[in-house]
A and B are shown apart, each in its own frame.
Chain A
C-alpha cells in the first residue's frame, strides 16, 4: 500500500497500479482514450493528463499522463489543477478538429465514450475553422460497420485486435494526421473476436452491423443480465430489446469468466430469437394454425399425463429449471437427458473427472494466469472460442513475468512490456489431428491420428506417476516430445491442461485427468479445463436422466406412449431412422420449444417456449459455474418459459411433484432439495422479493424515451406495464436508480458514463471483481483430498484399415452451433456441410480428384460429399464438418468403407 495525495487529500492505494486506474477506482472522473483496463497503457492520446508535484512546496508542477505514472508512496498529484483541466479540454479540441460531429446519425450516439469525455472535459465550442480530412470506409464483413471519419486515433482497435486477440488483418496505416485503421483492403475481418471492436472503439468507427439492421438507441432498450448460450463457457452478456425484438448483445463484465470480451458467435448469434420460424402460439395437430385455445391444449396434454405412459426428454440447451420441471412432471424414472449418446458419455466423463478428481476446473480468468498449457485434442477456437482468447493471454505470462522482473515494469506498461518480450512465448503444447489457430503460439504442435496423440498424453502421465502404466512401443520422436512436455509441466507453477468433446475421443480427457491428477499428487497446482458440447450440458448431467437411446427403446416397446420433448430438435441428437420410428410408435409427441424445427414438424402438440431472452433460468458452464440469466422482455403471443408450461400442465393434471410451485424461486427451491448438488443455485442471486429502498430494479435506463407515445396511434392511454413475478426486475424505467447487486446488473451506466466504459464504476478494483463478487456460483471444486483414480488404459496405436477411412468431426465457430445459425451473418460464414476432407494421398489411392463427389455409407445412410484434399490429415483419416444443419448426425469417430464405387461423376472444383 502507498499513500498518495490527490489535490492535497491523502488516499491509501495499492502499489503496482498506474495513477489513472487509481483515480478511476477512487471514483474520480478522469477522461482517457488509449488506456483500456484489459489492454494497459501506451500514453498515446494524452487525455488523462494530471499535474504532478515534487513536494508540498512545488506549486508549479508538471503535466504527466496519469496512465503512464506508477503509484509511488507520498506522491502529490492534482486532477483539478487548472493547467491539467485546460490541457484535457484541449485534447478533445484537437480530436474534434477532424471528428465529423455526426452524433445525431451515429450508431454510437448516446453510448459513446467520446461524447462522455467531451462533456467531462467541458469542451463545448469549437474554434477550428478549417476543413476536415476525410477517409474512405471499408467493407469489413457482416459484423461491423466502418466509419473512419469518426476515428480519434486512440489505437485501441489495433491493440485489441492484433496484440490482444492475435488478429492479423487489421492494422494502422500511413502516418501523421492521415493514420488509418482498417484492413489492407476491403474484406471480412478474420478474427473470431472482431465484434469486440464495437465496444473497444471509444467512438463510432466500429459499430455493430446486426444492431444497425434494427437500430435503436441504447437508452431505448430493455435490458437484462444474461448468459451466452453459444457454447459451454457461459460468457456473461447483456441482452437488449425494443418493440419485441432482440436488438443487441454486449459484453457483461464478469471478472472470473469473460472479463471484457465476447466471441463473435456469442455476440451475433442471437437472431434466432427474432426468427420468423418462432413458435409463438400453442398448437395441436391437425390444427397447427392456432385455432385451439391454450386452455384446451393444456387440458389435452394433462389428460395424456393422467393416462400415464409418459416420458420426458430434456435438453442441454434448456435451463436447469426447465429440465427439472419436466423431470418432475414426468417423474424422475421417466426423464431422459436429450443429449446424443456420445455427448452424454462425454459430459458424464467430464463431470466425473471434475467432481470426483482432485483438480478443480479452471475459470477463464485463471486460464489467463496459467504459465504452461497443454491442449489435448481440442480446437478451442471453434468449440469454446473465449477459451482460445484466454490461452492467448496465458502464453504471455512467463516472458512477461521475466521482463517485469528484469527491467522493473508493470504489466500495464503495455508497449514496453511487449518490446522487452519480443516474440517470446510461454510453453504451450498442442496435440491435435488437424491444425488449429493457436498453433502459431505453440512451443510444439504434434499432429497425428487421435489414438497416437492420446498415447503420447498417456505416456506423459506415466512419466509423472509410474502408477499409470507405460505406453508400449512409443516412437523415439514421440518419446522426446513426452519428455519435453513433462519437463515443461514440472517447471511450471500453474500448468493447465485443456481437453474436451471436440475430437470425439473421450480418452483425451482421461489423459488430461491423469496428467492433472499426477501433477496434483506431486504438489503442483494444476488446472483443468474440459469443454462440453452445450451451454447447459454439465447442468443437465448433474440433474441426471437416462440415455436418449433408451427413450427410443421404451417407446418402441410400447412401454411409453406419450413423449414430452423439451427445447430439443431430436434430429440433431440421434439417427434419423430412430427418430422417425419413434414418431411412428409414440401416440403423442409434445414439443416445448421456440423454433419450428424438424422435430416440430412431426410433433402433435407444440408449446411455444421462451428463448433465453424471454425467460429466467440457470445454466451451468463447463467449469461447473451455475449462472442465472434473466428475461429481457415479455414476448408476443403465448410464449413463456418451458418450466412455466410444465407447471401449468402439472397443475391441470394434478401432479403432486410440482404442487404449489408457481415462480422461479419455487422451482429453484424444489430443485435444490431434490438435487443437493444444485443447492447453491438457490443462492445465485437475490430472490424475486428483493427490493432496494422498496423498489424493483428497472430494465429500462432512466433516459428511456417516448414510452407514453409508443401506442399513440391506437390508444393514448399508457398500457399497464407487465408484471414480473419471478425476479426483482421491473419492465419499466421506474425503480431503484443506484447500483444493483452484481448478479442483477441489467446494463452498465453511471452518471457521466454512458458507454460501456462505465464498467469501472461497478468494479471493486479496475479489471477485478464486481462489487460484492462476480455473479455465478461454482458447483464443482474438485475433490482435493479424495483418492486419485487414474484411467489406466491407453488406446492401441492407430493402424489404417485397408479400404477404409476413419472419420472424425471438425467443429466450426460459425456453423456447428444450432441456434446461432439463424443469424444470417453467421450462416453466411459456415462451411459447406457436404465436404469431406481427406489426405491427398488417400484421394489419389482411391482415384478421387478434388471436388469429386464421394459416396459412402454411415450407419446405414448413404451420403454424397465432395472430396476436399487436406494435407494436414494423416493417411486413412477423413473429417466432416460437425453440427451443421445438414451434417450427418452420427457419433464420430467411425470407420467407413471406401470401395471402388465410392466415386461418382466429377464436378467442377470451382464450385467450392
Chain B
C-alpha cells in the first residue's frame, strides 16, 4: 500500500539532501521550471483533492479564484495551527517531514503566483518550529526559495510565524488577522481571502496535510491520486484514534477506510474492560458516530451521509466508562473559552451550554435544560453565527443529545452523575 505522505517520515526528519535523495523537490523543479501556473492548477483541480483542514473544500477550485493578472503581492499560508481537540495529524507531518510541506508550498505558491508564503504554526509545536526553521534555511541555501528559484523568474519568500495561542487562529480569516498582528477575529466572506486576504491581497490558506500532498500529485498525476483511495474522494488520508484504545496513534491509509478497521485493526481495539460507545470522527467539532456507523467509509461523503463530518480525520473515542455529559461538557468548555467574542450567539450561547452541561453533570440539571441545549444546538447552527466555530461546537452536543439522551436524563433524574463521583 502506498503511503506517499508518510513514507519518508523520520525523527529527526530527513535533511534536504536526504529528502532529495528520495525524490524530494522533483515536483518543485518540475512545476517551476517546466510547467505553467495554469498547468499546475489543472493537475490539482483534476485530482479533485479536497482540503484536509476540516471543511473539505476542493483545493484546485479554491486556487482558481485567485486573480492571476493583478500586480502587487499575493500570499500563500500553510495552516499549521492544529488546535482542534483530538487532532494530532499535522504535527506528525511537521515534525517528521518539513521539506515535504515546504515543497508543497513552493508548488502551490507558484500555481497562484504568490510572492510570499507563511507557515502559521501553533505555539506549542516547539520541535516542529525548530525543524521547519532548519528546513526553510536549507531550502533557501539550495535555491528552492528566495530570488529566482532554480534560475527561473519565479521568486518566493517563506516565513515561519508561530502563534500565541487561540484556537480561532486556525479559522482561515482569523488566521490572516493574526498574521497582520491583530486580534484573531474572523472576517466576513465575501470577500473571500482568495480575492482580499492577508493585508487585503489575494491569499490562499491551506492545511498542512493538503499542501504536503501537492508534490506527490504533481509528480504522479491525478489518476494516480484517485487510485489510492477506496472511494471517489481520492488519495490517502491521515487518520488517527485517541481515547481508551490499545494503540492510539495516526496512520496514513486509503481514503474511505472504515471506522471499524481504524479502531479494531490499527488502534488495536478498545482497552480491556472498556466498550466502544461512540466517537467523534474528525476532531472535537464533529458529530458523534456510534456503533451502527462502524462500517461507514471514512471519506467526506460517507461520513456526511452518516450524519457527521470527516473533519480532520482524527477520531476521539468515547468509551462506556466515561460520562458522555462530562465528555461534552469538556468540549463546550473548550469552545466557550476559545470563542473570539465577536458574535453574540457564540460568545453568549456557548458559556450557557457549558453551564447547563456542568449543572447536569453535577446533578443540578432541570428537566427543561435538555430542550434549552437542543435549541442552542439548532440556533448556533451554520450561518447563524459569524464563523464556523460555534456550529462546530454544536455538532458533538446535538449528536450527544440524540445518541446518549438516556445518560442526560439519568443525570437529571438521579440528581448525580451515574458514572463517577468525581469532585
Contacts and interface: CB of A to CB of B under 8 A. Distances in A.
Q: Do A and B come from one complex?
A: yes
Interface of A: 42-47, 49, 62-64, 68, 86-87, 90-91, 94-95, 97-98, 127-128, 130, 152-153, 155, 172, 174-179, 403, 407-409, 413, 415-416, 419-422
Given A62-B383, A87-B384, A413-B188, A175 B349 contact: no
Interface stretch (B29-37, B269-277, B320-328, B339-347): B339-347
Interface stretch (B98-106, B189-197, B241-249): B189-197
23 contacts: A46-B344, A46-B385, A86-B379, A90-B345, A91-B344, A91-B345, A95-B344, A97-B348, A130-B359, A175-B166, A175-B339, A176-B351, A177-B336, A178-B341, A179-B347, A403-B200, A407-B195, A416-B187, A416-B188, A416-B191, A419-B187, A420-B191, A421-B200
Contacts of A419: 187, 196, 200
B187 A128 contact: no
B265 interface: no
B372 interface: yes
Contacts of B379: 86-87, 90
Contacts of A45: 343-344
Nearest to B190: A416
Given A415-B187, A420-B191, A44 B342 contact: yes
Interface in B315-362: 336-345, 347-352, 355, 359
B348 A94 contact: yes
* B interface bracket (residues with beta carbon within 8 Å of A): 35 or more
A45 B336 CA distance: 17
Q: Could you say which of B343, B345, B386 has the most chain A C-beta atoms within 10 Å of its C-beta?
A: B343
Most chain A CB neighbours (cut-off 10 Å) among B190, B342, B349: B342
Contacts of B386: 43-44, 46
A43 B343 contact: yes
Contacts of B190: 409, 416
A153 B346 CA distance: 12
A63 B385 CA distance: 10
B360 to A, nearest CB: 12
Contacts of A420: 191, 196, 200
Contacts, number: 106
A130 B339 CA distance: 19
Given A46-B384, A420-B200, A421-B200, A94 B344 contact: yes
B383 A64 contact: yes
A122 to B, nearest CB: 16
A44 B348 CA distance: 12
Given A44-B386, A46-B343, A422-B200, A94 B355 contact: no
Contacts of A172: 183
A174 B350 CA distance: 17
A580 B379 CA distance: 76
A46 B336 CA distance: 18
Contacts of B196: 403, 407, 416, 419-420
Given A407-B196, A416-B190, A416-B196, A44 B344 contact: yes
Among A97, A152, A175, A422, which residue has the most Cβ atoms of chain B within 10 A? A175
B368 interface: yes
Interface of A is mostly: mixed
A95 B384 CA distance: 15
Contact of B336 (A87, A94, A176, A407): A176
Interface in B181-233: 183, 187-188, 190-191, 195-196, 199-200
B375 interface: yes
B383 A177 contact: no
B339 A176 contact: yes
A178 B338 CA distance: 11
Contact of A179 (B200, B337, B341, B385): B341
Given A90-B345, A94-B344, A175-B339, 18 more contacts: A43-B386, A45-B343, A46-B386, A49-B384, A87-B384, A94-B345, A94-B352, A152-B344, A175-B341, A176-B351, A178-B341, A179-B341, A179-B347, A407-B191, A409-B190, A409-B191, A416-B187, A422-B200
A175 B188 contact: no
B188 A415 contact: yes
A402 to B, nearest CB: 11
B348 A98 contact: yes
Contacts of A62: 383
B340 A47 contact: no
A46 B375 CA distance: 16
A43 B383 CA distance: 11
A369 B123 CA distance: 45
A777 B235 CA distance: 72
Contacts of B343: 43-46
A753 B340 CA distance: 31
Most buried by B among A62, A68, A130: A130
Interface in B14-72: none
Nearest to B376: A90
- For A46, A153, A178, A407, the residue with the greatest tally of chain B CB atoms inside 10 Å of its CB is A46
A46 B188 contact: no
